[in-house]
Structure formats: structure tokens, C-alpha cells
Amino acid sequence: MRNPLCRPTVAVALFLTLVSSASAAVTPVRFSGERRQSFDEGWRFFKGDAPGAEQPGFDDSQWRQLQLPHDWAIEGPFDSKANPHTGALPISGTGWYRKSFTVPDAAKDRFLSIMFDGAQNNAHVFLNGEEIGSRPYGYISFSVDLTGHLKFGGQTNVLAVRLTPEDRSSRWYPGAGIYRNVWLDVTGPVHVGQWGTYITTPEVSEEKATVTAKVDIRNRTQSQARMTVQTAILDPAGKPVTRVATPADVPARSTQTVTANLTVNRPQRWDMEHPAMYTLVSEVLDANKKVVDRYTTPFGIRSIKFDREQGFLLNGRHVKIQGVCDHHDLGALGAAVNRRATERQIEILKKAGVNAIRTSHNPPSPELLDLCDRMGIVVMDESFDMWKRPKVPNGYAKYFDEWSERDVRDFVRRDRNHPSVIMWSIGNEIPEQNSPDGGEMAKRLTGFFHQEDPTRPTTSAFNSPEGAIRNHLGDNVDLFGVNYRPWQYEQFQKEHPTWIVYGSETSSCVSSRGVYHLPVEKYQKHESLQLSGYDIIAPSWAYCPDVEFFYQDKLPNVLGEFVWTGFDYIGEPTPYFGGGGRGADSSKDWPSRSSYFGFIDLAGFPKDRFYLYQSQWTTKPMVHVLPHWNWAGREGQAIPVMAYTNADEVELFLNGKSLGRKKRFSESVVIPVGRNASRDEKFSSKYRLEWQVPYAPGTLKAVAWSAGKQVAVDEVRTAGAPARLTMVPDRATIQADGEDLSFITVRVEDKDGNLVPGADNLVHFAVTGAGALRAVDNGNAATEESFQADHRKAFSGMALVIVNGHKGQKGRIHIVATGDGLAQAATDIVTR
């Protein structure tokens, strides 16, 4: 059963069964006592145009049957002639979705609508042959009213959706299709409106909190409705803590806002360490005190403040923002939202010390915000990558004039009750920074955000801060975000004494997991299409993480940073932009099709840079040593060895012999950087420890010490030839709902169990029993292997296989991995 966490639901006195037509051949979706229900099952899909497909009588019997969410582009194939910026995948074209259903006569006095969490993009929605709604922006949630267009009783209704995403509509991989969840909303004639609650906590202390709830009551009848709105708060355990009843007279065919002020004594405040979630229950009672609508909204009790000198304060406590920017794709799963895949990403990020996410550069899935609420991550919620001036020919600029106000208002109303959301971004690297009218445009957008939610600040990520200052965009946001200019933070603070400054996009270091090139030097490209894991390579505008650490330490009142990026993502394979018809030289870059920016690769495996951030952002003792220790042919030659730690000092051993201790911050490691970070293109970093170690096969071990005690150990060993496979699932038990996933790490090891760092063996997967193979990956940004095959080459000795359980089938999923010349591996996943 779908987890309705953080989803508004309403109890209604109607048992409604939606039965698919015979041609759809899917299990009926049943409704009993809830207003909001999943509408994901029973769809048919066709890739290509299909004239007349909106008509009820159209024959879709040969179309593919599927369950949403669905991303058709991730299915491939990769195309060397396609745009590498968007992953060289088929993101454009036309796609049709159809769903057939019946509505009983008992629902004739009800009001039905469909909510799309996102459809990529240019969506047109038809019911029984008539167009009833459309939305061009693929990242925005929108609803379409079905009432007045439905057939009842045994008559079949046909809902059809036509999508026409365009090439060069995005600067990264957007996906294609109905890639987020779809919901059916069933109400009576008087009900809480869509996103109809707005909850604020104007006073919060340890002793008590004041909760103000504004509830929009919609009356769709022809006469005035005299109602009572009963508002209650449930604590995190589901126990009622306070309640208030408010009478309301709602005029005919209108919406009335009812305000309730409630007090919660000794509140459990939402914090990163204890993200306590309350629930607001809004009940609409008629004149006979009968409940005709019930709407629930999760929320958190917390206070936020942004201060020029103190930085970001959460419940009065200073918190440094240790954030990442992330695009919305889920690696091998593409853009199709999956709750467990999103949860796994957050779990991995938190291990690095991440406490904030920037939704680059668009409204996120509701699931991401739900999970951030529950897992204690704060969010910069971002709206647009462009306004009127285009970055790509078919981007949002085509729709900005007509849709920007509605998109902003819907975006804020959907997300404003999430305690995780702490700031609204009106745009990323907007070209209007350099336009005289940019300030007025920023003022207009900020006004919409403030009207819908005056409790949170607006911001924008400026990559041309001088232009943003000159044209007054900086004056028309509440927080000044700076992209890739940490050496200017202090200047901006001095020149604008009231401004609050932070790094909205930082570093953009690039690397490949487990790959090391010698000598250690900065370069633009490498013939291998991989980039060194020594964490020193960055594009011309960017720099290694150490530079940002330095300025963040120097200026503690800077709010913090959002690193580009947490995870690798599909598209933008900087610096390899080959293919796409760019000529013979650029074709040498193929098949690079994914980014190298993440400190976690596309498969979810941490790179070395992950541990560099962990050494600065966490307190649990840790040490990480790099590189691998397989350097045959370099015996006796010096290999640069680095250690990242949050301990006091590290002692390095080779085959049991100490190579000396080094204290953290006591000496600098000189690393190459771009000219923008340093005129001599060198930077002295105190955030790394380095030894030059003459290579000899064996064991390289780093021992971390604090206060005279050994607190952490890490080691790498010289591996022999590939001999066997091992498989380690992230979870051995999953739900039998067709959606829950197990992510299984596959390792190529030698006979002694050491990871073979250069192994690229082809691994085949066989999945039997109560589940199926969902996707495969290996974290390699430069391969055209399909994500949906039953095999994958290892990359730097590792691969990933993702499986899901069959819906409603409890039992075991049996997964076997085989490779030529390798002992096979097997594992079982239990489905419940």
C-alpha cells in the first residue's frame, strides 16, 4: 500500500470504486473513506503521436500497460548524436497516456479532480475527448477538475494525457513522461480547498508554541453554506493536544478563509536531530454537526531566523548550512520518482554531514520534501532556472510571461507547510542579472512569494553578482546567494552592511570514483574520459572544496554553502561535451553522458571527496586514505598518499612500518587550482594530510588519533587478480508493494576478499522469485550501457543492481551475479 506520509487526506462518506475498462486490463482501484487516493495504476502508454488518442473510442489495446510514475527517456537508448547536456537520451517527442475507469451513480453529487505531481512536459489533459486542462512547466504540480465531464454508472470514462517535451528545453536531463505520482481527489460540495491549509508558528519557545492555521473552505453549491470548522492538532504520537471550533458562513461558489489560533504547551520542536512532526486536522461540519470533509496536514513547530552576524538560527541555535545542490533524477531510475530511492540518497548524504539540500533548479517532488521533514534536512526550495531570457531555445522562457505568477503561487501553496523549507529561490543564474529590468522582475517574483508566505526569505543564486548588484536584483531578495566567488563574500558584506550572504553554489570539483592519474596535476580533460579522484580537477569557473572551506572558516557569519553537487546526475558531462554533431574532435568525448560533479557517483557510491566533506562536516571520528594501492610497474616510485580526517592527527603505515604522524591543520598541502582562485594557480590547503610513499605492494593503513587515543582506522590493500563476486544489499527486507527497492552493491574481489580497484568485468544478473530487476548501474559517467539491462560491467571494481518486489506477492527474491572466471555471488531479499 502506498505510504501517504505527508499527504493531505480527507475522509468522505462515500465508497467509490473506479473500475478500468476491459481494454486496460488492470486491477480496479478502490476508494473507501479517504478523499485522496493514488491514481497511478492501470495506464497505457504509447511513444509517438497518435491522432485521435484523446477520443474514448480510440483503440489502445496494443499500447504498453504500466504503472506510474514513468520516465520514458531513461529506457534509452543512448544516442551519440543526441545532446550530451541532457544525457544523450530520448527526452523529446510525443507521448500519450490513457486510463479508462467507471464512476458509480452514487458519486454524482461529488466533486472529482486529478492531481499531477509533475508531468514532463507540455501536458494536455483530456477527459472523454474534451481537453480539460494543460500545464507547460514539467516540474510544477497541478490539478484538473473532472466534475462536469464525467459519465456515471457503468459508462466508461477515458482520461488521456498528451506530452510533447522538446529538445534543448533543459540544461540537464529532465526525463520525459508522467514521472511523478498522480492522485484522485473526491470531495463533497463544501470542502477544504486544494493545498487549502497554511500553518505558521509565530511564537515558539521551550514552554509553548502558538500555531496559526488558515483554512480555505470552498463552497461549490449555489447557496450560502453555514459550517463549522473544527481545527485540532495531533502530537507526533498521534495524540490530540488542542482543538478549536470556528463558525463560518461561506458564500455560494466561493472560498472563505477561516483562521484558528492554537496553543501547544511544551512543544516538541522540529530540529535536525529531532525532526518532530505534528498533524493539523481540519474538519468541516455542516449545520447538523456532521463531518462532511476532513483534511490532514503534517507540519513542524520550529522557528527560523537569518541574522547578519549570527547566521542561520534554528530554534535560536546557530546552524551552519552544510548543503548540496542536487538535480531531480535518481540515477539509473531516471526522473521517475521513487520514495525509497529518494530516502536512500538522503541517508547517504547525511553520512557525509549534509544538513541542507538545494532543489536545483526547480520545484522538487513532494516525496523529497516529505522525507526532508522526517529526516531533519533543511531545504532551499527553488522555482526556476530561467525567466524571460532563455538559456536554451525551448526552456521556461517560452512560458514565463503567461505562467510565472501562477507557477510561483501554486509552488508556494504546495510546499509552505513543510518545516524543512527555510528559503525560497526565485531563480538560478538568471541572465536578467545583467539586464536593466532585472531588479523589477526580481521584485515582482519576490512579491508573489511574500504574499503567499511572508515567513520565509527569498533568495537567488547569482553567478554575476556585480550585475545583480548593479541592476538591483540583490536589493530585491532577502538573502544574497553567491555562486563560485567565496573570495568576494567579505567584500559584499562590507559594501552592503545589511545583506546576508552565503554560497548558493560552490566548488564544482569533478572526479571519477576510484580513478587516480599521476602525476597529480590540474588538467582540462583526460583521454580516459575519467577525472582524477585526488579532488583537484575543476572547470575554469570552479575550484576544489578546500578553497570554500577556507573562506567559510574565515567568515563564520556567512550562512554556509550548497556544494555542486551531492550526487552525480545524468547530463552536463563537464568537461566532456562531445557528440551532438559538434564535429570529429568533440566526438572523442563520447560516450560521456553524465556529470562528474557529485561527491557521490550516479550509483550512490561515495567518491573520495565524500570523505573530505565528512572530515569537515562531522564529529564522529573518521579517517579516509587514498588512493588505491595497486600500482604495478611503479615499484619504488613515490605515490602521493592523502588522508582526510576530523581527528587530531594521523599516522600512516606501509606494511606495518610507520611513515610518521601528521597533525591536522599543522601543515599545508599545495594543490593546483584555477586562476580565479589563485593567481599562481596554487592553493595551500590545511584540510588534507599528505605523504609521498615509495610504492611497494601490501597494506597501506591510516590510524587517526585524538587526545592521545586511537579513534579511527582506514586501510587499502594491494589486490590480486579478480576471483569472485560479492553482493551486499542495503536492505534485506522490503515491502511487497511493487515500489519499494533494495539496492545491492556488487564487488569484484580477489581470492582474499580485497576489492580489485581496476576491475571492469562484465557481470550478469538473474532475478527470480517474488520480485524483478529494476535497474543496473556502476557509477561510470562515460558508458552507453543500458540502465535496464540484465548485465553491467564493473567500474573501479563495483556495480549496482536494483530490485523491487512484485506487488502483493510476499516471499523471497533470489538474485545471482555471475561473471566469466569469477566465483558467483547470490543473495535473497524478503518481501513482506
Q: Are 686 and 668 in contact (CB under 8 A)?
A: yes
Four-point Cα dihedral 772, 774, 779, 785, nearest 10: 100
| Alpha carbon separation from 419 to 349, 717, 760 (Å, rounded) | 19, 45, 44
| Alpha carbon separation from 134 to 186, 205, 660 (Å, rounded) | 20, 45, 67
**Angle formed by the axes of helices 438-452 and 400-415, nearest 10°:** 30
* Angstrom distance (rounded) from CA 287 to CA 491: 63
Element (H, E) at 255: strand 254-265
Residue indicated by cell numbers 459519465: 151
- 495 has catalytic annotation: no
Tell me which of 283, 382, 505, 649 is the catalytic residue.
Answer: 505
Q: Are 565 and 532 in contact (CB under 8 A)?
A: no
Residue indicated by cell numbers 486491477: 27
Give per-residue burial for 700-738: e unless 16+ CB within 10 Å, then b: bbbbbbeeeeebbebebbbbeebbbbebebbeeebbbbb
Instruction: List, in order, residues 6 or more apart from 548 with CB less than 8 Å away.
Output: 486, 503, 506, 507, 561, 563
* Angstrom distance (rounded) from CA 785 to CA 792: 7
Nearest Cα neighbor of 352 from 599, 92, 77, 614 is: 614
Parallel, antiparallel or unpaired: strands 278-285 and 291-299: antiparallel
Cis peptide before 627 (omega within 30 of 0): yes
3 state DSSP class of 548: helix
Three cell numbers written together for 333: 531510475
Three cell numbers written together for 589: 568525448
DSSP string, 651-682: EEEETTEEEEEEETTTS-EEEE--TTT-TTSE
Residue indicated by cell numbers 522555482: 383
Neighbour count for residue 618 (Cβ, 10 Å): 17
HSE value, Cβ hemisphere, 13 Å, CA-based, for 821: 10
Tell me which of 382, 429, 649, 690 is the catalytic residue.
Answer: 429
* Angstrom distance (rounded) from CA 73 to CA 79: 11
Residue indicated by cell numbers 556529470: 595
Neighbour count for residue 812 (Cβ, 10 Å): 14
Q: Are 565 and 324 in contact (CB under 8 A)?
A: yes
- 367 has catalytic annotation: no
Instruction: List, in order, residues 6 or more apart from 361 with CB less than 8 Å away.
Output: 382, 384, 385, 425, 427, 428
Nearest Cα neighbor of 146 from 39, 2, 229 is: 39
Rg (CA), the chain: 28
DSSP string, 495-528: HSTT--EEEEEEE-----TT---SS----S--TT
* Angstrom distance (rounded) from CA 290 to CA 753: 67
**How remote is the C-alpha of 329 from its chain's centroid?**
7
Three cell numbers written together for 459: 533568495
SS3 content of the chain, % helix, strand, coil (to 5): 15, 40, 45
| Alpha carbon separation from 392 to 428, 559, 832 (Å, rounded) | 14, 31, 46
What amino acid positions are annotated as catalytic residues? Answer: 429, 505
